[in-house]
Amino acid sequence: MDAEAATVATGIPVTGRAGESMLTTRLRAMLSWPNMRERAPAPADPVTALIKAHHQVHSGSDVALLRRAYLVAERMHRGQMRKSGDPYITHPLAVAEILAHLGMDGTTLAAALLHDTVEDTSYTLAQLRADFGPDVAHLVDGVTKFDKAHFGARAEAETIRKMIVAAGQDIRVLVIKLADRLHNMQTLDARSAASRARIAGATREVLVPLCDRLGIQALKRELEDKVLLFLDPEEYERIDGMVSNRPDWNDYVQNLVTLGRGALRREKLDGRVKPRPRHYYSIWKDTQQAGSPVPMDLPRIVVILEGDDPDCYAALCAVHQQWKPIPGRFKDFIAAPKNNLYRSLHTTVLGPGDQMVEVLIRTEQMHRAVEYGVVAPFRYPARQSRRSTALSLFNPVRTAPREVVPPPRQHGEHAWLRRALDLEQAAPDAVQFVETLRCDLAEQQIQVFAWGRQLLLPAGASPVDVAYELGTRTGDRCVAATVNGVLTPLNAALTDGDVVDILVSRARNHPGPRREWLEFVKSPNARLRLSRRFTEPEVAAGTVSDRLQLGRAAIGLALRRRDRALADEQRLISLAQALDYPDLDTLLIAVAEHRVSADTIVDQLIASVDNQNEAARTPPVNVVPPRRDAADTPPRRSSTSLAR
């Protein structure tokens, strides 16, 4: 058919392409269009990255819990935005991804996804417990902050205290808190300058030392670098410029790695040698301590051995045969681990070109503990015979509903957390406890020896601090001290490695400690003991658990006076929400502190029950005849809220 005939037959003029009609052209174009699925791809699954990271460590884990937790969190946070303008759900999702890369288990990731729901949405802790179980609920409750509207200036201190107590039952509470703060630091640009300085300062003062105590160097390094970035951006940029523009640095370090591997092979030691570059905050700290006008950063490598502790000392000999050691630059943290269980050998040698080089030597097991600390049993579950072993190993439980008896301690396993829990019990109130905790988290510490014991104390500690570490009676009766065999004043500052002997009075009329000791003691134990002796708190507030118990007792007494009994707490939880309290604990503490009357609470509780029964116009199934022995016997558990 020619062009003219085609035009007549179709009514559509042909194009100039080999007699092809416009209809044909359109058909070709339509057939070449991508289908709707190609043009508008389905949105990516928001939890894909989280599940992928989780499966890299826990390949057989069931991810249904994570998907369900994400859906609940997304629904509850819908409409909420962060300071950056991003949907709020991006924050809990990012926190969960940080924890997944650390190697945490599914329960922890689910709690991370939900960790702000109870605090910032209408989702209650009771609902969360019913939906996800007691473990997830405990973790979320542990990181939920107390409401400033009800606790005022004490809210932050009460929150920290609550978090430490919750960590005594499950260490994962603190791990979630650290991941939460890390993501907040990663997105701190969206905050005002004043907020950036405040949050970065609090991170450096409490969260970074806490991360160090838990041994999670994988988190600590980035936290510290973010702190430096926001507190001293000029110094951060100066260090960044130095690190980015060092000529031949990588070649020099790679040569060290090659020579180190050769030294191991000659001694027939199985292991690997890796570069171990310092992070920016570490460079800054060493520069400040040395008073250097330029950033100080020595080349550094780490030797990781497949064997046991003795192989580390064999590797040390191999390194010292390869390079000349520098006297006074050797530290043995295997025989004397740090308080966060850090174990390695440190030595400094003269490398090629007479350049000082730092060498770290450790086993593979030590390396895992150094990098991940309390997280290591979760990241490497194959090393644990059972899941419960991993939990009990790092959970210094004292008394809890889900009590786990820890195995025999090795190398003082997490003595710091046990110590913090003991300080919490001894502190008269939350504010005093937090002040003591901050003192205990002092980054600079020294190691001294007294009466055959190895003691870790804050830098600048005195013999009085040593005395109180040996015992309260020893501290109270301390009269003199010798340091390295020399009689020394009680206010003298000790140095690392000192051997201290405390002399105590045996006189019955000994006057006891002196108030002026408070001016120079550094250790939290000494400060707490002396503060309790010489200062009286304005209000004997007691611990959080004490006040919760007092609040419950006051409400129970008010119910008895009305010949009623509380069968379960659900009605009380509903009343707390109706009265604008964030949770039941806050209401109970308000009752204990006489900020609201127990009689008022009980009257409203009874009124709500009676009104509901009257509205239903049915016999009040939750009201029973008065019992003569109600004051002597506990209320019978039933499905009712109040019994009369």
What pLDDT digit, counting tens, does each position of 134-146 carry? 999 999 999 998 7
**Average pLDDT score over residue span 524-546:** 70
Instruction: Return d(Cα 570, Cα 303) in angstroms, integer.
Output: 58
Instruction: Return d(Cα 239, Cα 296) in angstroms, integer.
Output: 9
Closest CA to 102 of 391, 414, 374: 374
pLDDT band at 287 (very low <50, low <70, confident <90, very high): very high
Contact (CB, 8 A) for 433 and 156: no
> Distance from CA of residue 154 to its chain's centroid?
21
pLDDT tens column, 320-341: 999 999 998 999 999 888 877 7
The DSSP annotation for 435-482 comes to: HHHHHHT-S-EEEEEETTEEEEEETT--HHHHHHHH-HHHHHTEEEEE
Q: State both tokens at 87.
A: 């949907």
Tokens 């991006």 locate to 90
What is the reported pLDDT for 17? 45
pLDDT band at 24 (very low <50, low <70, confident <90, very high): low
Which region holds residue 77: left if phi is over 0, alpha if psi is between -120 and 50, else beta?
alpha
What average pLDDT does the chain have?
A: 81
Whether the predicted model's global pTM rises above the 0.85 cut: no
**Average pLDDT score over residue span 411-438:** 75
pLDDT tens column, 337-355: 887 778 999 999 999 999 9
What is the reported pLDDT for 610? 72
Q: State both tokens at 189.
A: 């640009």
Q: Which residue has the higher pLDDT, 163 or 3?
A: 163
What is the reported pLDDT for 609? 75
Q: What is the dihedral of CA 368, 372, 376, 382, to 10 degrees?
A: -50
pLDDT tens column, 477-491: 999 999 999 999 999
Lowest mean pLDDT among 184-198, 360-374, 526-540: 526-540
pLDDT value at 275 more than 60: yes
Instruction: Return d(Cα 345, Cα 302) in angstroms, integer.
Output: 10
Lowest mean pLDDT among 162-176, 409-423, 584-598: 409-423
Q: Which residue has the higher pLDDT, 208 or 438?
A: 208
**Average pLDDT score over residue span 279-307:** 93
Q: State both tokens at 174.
A: 């603190």
**Average pLDDT score over residue span 157-171:** 88
Q: Which residue has the higher pLDDT, 431 or 109?
A: 109
**Alpha-carbon separation of residue 111 from 57, 120, 210, 367, 582 (angstroms):** 18, 15, 20, 28, 19
What is the reported pLDDT for 554? 80
pLDDT value at 401 more than 70: no
pLDDT value at 67 more than 70: yes
pLDDT band at 615 (very low <50, low <70, confident <90, very high): low
pLDDT value at 221 more than 90: yes
Lowest mean pLDDT among 154-163, 197-206, 489-498, 528-537: 528-537
pLDDT value at 217 more than 70: yes
Helices (H), 291-372: 309-322, 364-372
What is the reported pLDDT for 108? 96
pLDDT value at 582 more than 60: yes
pLDDT value at 577 more than 60: yes
Instruction: Return d(Cα 556, Cα 565) in angstroms, integer.
Output: 7
Most confident listed range (37-46, 315-324, 381-390, 439-448): 315-324
**Average pLDDT score over residue span 248-271:** 94
User: In order of start, what are the domains of the chain with their CATH numbers?
Assistant: 3-39 (no CATH), 48-238 (1.10.3210.10), 241-374 (3.30.460.10), 444-534 (3.10.20.30), 544-643 (no CATH)
pLDDT tens column, 75-133: 999 999 998 889 999 999 999 999 999 999 999 999 999 999 999 999 999 999 999 99
What is the reported pLDDT for 149? 65
Q: State both tokens at 209.
A: 């030392």
Closest CA to 170 of 402, 382, 437, 423: 402
pLDDT tens column, 501-523: 999 988 888 888 998 999 999 88
Lowest mean pLDDT among 47-56, 72-81, 363-372, 421-430: 421-430
Q: Could you say which of 62, 105, 120, 371 is catalytic?
A: 120
Coil/strand/helix, residue 124: coil
What is the reported pLDDT for 486? 93
Burial class, 155, CB count within 10 angstroms (exposed 0-12 / middle 13-18 / buried 19+): middle
pLDDT band at 589 (very low <50, low <70, confident <90, very high): confident
Lowest mean pLDDT among 242-246, 418-422, 490-494, 567-571: 567-571
Quote the Cα angle for 242-98-410, to 5°.
90
**Alpha-carbon separation of residue 22 from 12, 27, 618 (angstroms):** 7, 9, 79
What is the reported pLDDT for 490? 94
User: Does 580 qualify as catalytic in the annotation?
Assistant: no
User: Does 440 qualify as catalytic in the annotation?
Assistant: no
**Average pLDDT score over residue span 356-379:** 94
First CA to last CA distance, the chain: 100
Q: Could you say which of 74, 119, 240, 364 is catalytic?
A: 119
Tokens 């369900």 locate to 68
% the chain with pLDDT above 70: 80
Contact (CB, 8 A) for 333 and 346: yes
- Three-state SS for 204-270 is HHHHHHHHHHCCCHHHHHHHHHHHHHHHCHHHHHHHHHHHHCCCCHHHHHHHHHHHHHHHHHHCCCC
